Amino acid sequence: MFTFIVRRIIQTIPVLIGVTILTFSMMHLIPGDPAQIIAGESASPEQIELMRERLGLNDPLPVQYFDYIRGVVTGDLGNSIRSGRAVSSEVFLRLRPTIELAVYSTILSVFIGLIAGVFAAVRRGGLSDSLVMIVALFGLSLPNFWLGLMLIQYLAIGIDIFGINTGWFAASGWGTWQQQVLPVLTLGTAGAAIIARMTRSSMLEVIDQDYIRTARAKGVKERVVIYRHALKNALIPVVTVVGLQFGTLLGGAVLTETVFAINGLGRLIVDSIRARDFPIVQGGVLIFALLFVFVNIAVDVIYRLLNKRIDLN
Binding to another protein by residue 249, rule CB under 8 A? yes
Taking CB under 8 A as the binding criterion, the range among 23-31, 36-44, 60-68, 106-114 that sits at the site for another protein is: 23-31
Which one, of 102, 205, 181, 196, lies nearest residue 140 by Cα?
196
Binder among 108, 114, 151, 281 for another protein (CB under 8 A): 281
Binding to another protein by residue 211, rule CB under 8 A? yes
Give the number of other Cβ atoms within 10 Å of residue 127's Cβ: 8
Beta bridge partners of 155: none
Cβ closest to another protein, residue 34 vs residue 88:
34
Binder among 4, 5, 8, 26 for another protein (CB under 8 A): 26
Binder among 250, 262, 268, 299 for another protein (CB under 8 A): 250
At its nearest, how many Å lie between another protein and the CB of residue 145? 5
Decide if 268 contacts 284 (C-beta within 8 A): yes
Binding to another protein by residue 45, rule CB under 8 A? no
Binding to another protein by residue 143, rule CB under 8 A? yes
Taking CB under 8 A as the binding criterion, the range among 1-9, 112-120, 142-150, 177-185 that sits at the site for another protein is: 142-150
Number of residues that bind another protein (CB under 8 A): 73
| Cα 270 to chain centroid, rounded | 16
Instruction: Give the DSSP H/E element, type plus range, for residue 43.
Output: none
Binder among 95, 270, 301, 302 for another protein (CB under 8 A): 270
Binding to another protein by residue 232, rule CB under 8 A? yes
| Cα 168 to chain centroid, rounded | 27
Binder among 2, 42, 127, 274 for another protein (CB under 8 A): 274
Query: What is the C-alpha to C-alpha distance for residues 167 and 160, in angstroms, rounded to an integer?
Result: 9
Residues 6+ apart with CB under 8 A from 160: 166
Task: Using CB atoms within 10 Å of the CB of residue 41, give its burial: 0 to 12 exposed, 13 to 18 middle, 19+ buried.
Answer: exposed
Taking CB under 8 A as the binding criterion, the range among 71-79, 111-119, 160-168, 288-296 that sits at the site for another protein is: 288-296
Q: Which string of x and - marks every residue 99-118 that binds another protein (by CB under 8 A)? A: --------------------
Instruction: Give the DSSP H/E element, type plus range, for residue 164.
Output: strand 164-165
Binding to another protein by residue 126, rule CB under 8 A? no
Q: Which string of x and - marks every residue 73-102 that binds another protein (by CB under 8 A)? A: ------------------------------
Binding to another protein by residue 144, rule CB under 8 A? yes
Binder among 19, 120, 122, 268 for another protein (CB under 8 A): 19
Binder among 95, 99, 273, 297 for another protein (CB under 8 A): 273
SS3 42: coil
Give the number of other Cβ atoms within 10 Å of residue 205's Cβ: 14
Binder among 6, 61, 131, 150 for another protein (CB under 8 A): 150
| Cα 151 to chain centroid, rounded | 21
| Helix/strand number for the chain, H first, E second | 13, 2
SS3 160: strand
Decide if 122 contacts 226 (C-beta within 8 A): yes
Binder among 99, 258, 297, 302 for another protein (CB under 8 A): 258
